[in-house]
Amino acid sequence: MKRKKRFLFIFGTRPEAIKMAPLINALKDYKDQYDVAVCTTGQHREMLKQIMDFFQLSSNYDLDLMKPDQTLYDITSDSIHKLEQVLKDANPDLVLVQGDTTTAMTGALAAFYQKIKIAHIEAGLRSFNKYEPFPEEINRKIISSLADFNFAPTEQCKKNLEKENITQHVYVTGNTVIDALLWGVNKVRTDAGYNDFFQFIDPEKRTILVTAHRRESFGKPFEEICDALYTLANNFKDIQIVYPVHLNPNVQKIVYQKLKDHPSIYLINPLNYAQLLWIMDKSYFVITDSGGIQEEAPSLGKPVLVLRNVTERMEGIEAGNAILTGTSKEKILQESTRLLTGNEHYNKMSKAINPYGTGNSAEQIISILSKALDD
């Protein structure tokens, strides 16, 4: 009888877990072929638990990395050191990492040190600026150079890898975040509890969802974002802005100082994944600096204004799903106004085909790995 292959998934943040969940759950249908183990890092334990519960996942290993005031040096060195023993204990045939976090980078590096094959999910994203986003741009370049299998969400991502002479075992599969999104939205739409949670929302008004927290925007850029939102709420009486505010003090201080008194702006606590899906599904359009939401919102027909100067997800910009505004008050107001007043412009953005896939990425990846690992 042929020995089952063993896969080890390593992740630590909420976005990683969301994008790994479709793969882990899809592999449950292949129990006769694969053993699956999960290693979490313990950095964002409460947020991660929400995702694990929502997707019914469990962890076999927990690195317990979180400690006060830790730096990138701490996370990098501690995770590599602890992963050494995890890898020896799990003895996987393949380590799977996702995206561009420090956890993903150290997971790939630790696997490389033990000559274990590596699969990189969501490979090939590039901003071509090593400090934006920081440290993600360099993390993902390191991971792809180490990976034995690079699963690119788009053709452009594949081309980015080719420019770095990474051409072997590169596959375009779409992004597993769309698999997770479509499964999750179907689940929350049938749960009346979310209507109760968001009962402060006026169904007669158009809702604009805002998420903004990136460190590049701390200080003056965040003031510009907030000034734009305040002016927008004044200019349009038929809208309401829902802003789940990140817990980082650099965000909280400016946002609450600038926006807390406006009656049409709802500053709420950070949302779990299911709540975020619900409000995104109900929104008219989204203003965000999140990478994942740039991919997710278009699948729900929601235009996206991206609060970044550069994005590694240019496919959405080119397809017409999203527009780069940066943090300029003038640009945010201009593009928001176009969406609120121009039906043709809105419809064009909301109906543009999402370049990040149709929801079958996990099955594609499993099919490719099944064949490649048996060769």
Active site positions, annotated: 100, 122, 136, 213, 215, 246
**What is the residue whose two structure tokens read 């990136």?**
214
Locate 177 and state its tokens: 């975040």
Distances (CA, A) of 303 to 11, 23, 173, 273, 333: 29, 27, 23, 19, 15
339: Cα within 13 Å, side-chain hemisphere: 26
Q: Locate tokens 């997971």: which residue? A: 107
Q: What's the CA gap between 294 and 323, in Å, rounded?
A: 10
For the record, the structure tokens of 92 come out as: 């996987």
Distance CA(12)–CA(166), nearest Å, equals 26
Distance CA 175, CA 296 (A): 10
DSSP secondary structure letter of residue 284: S
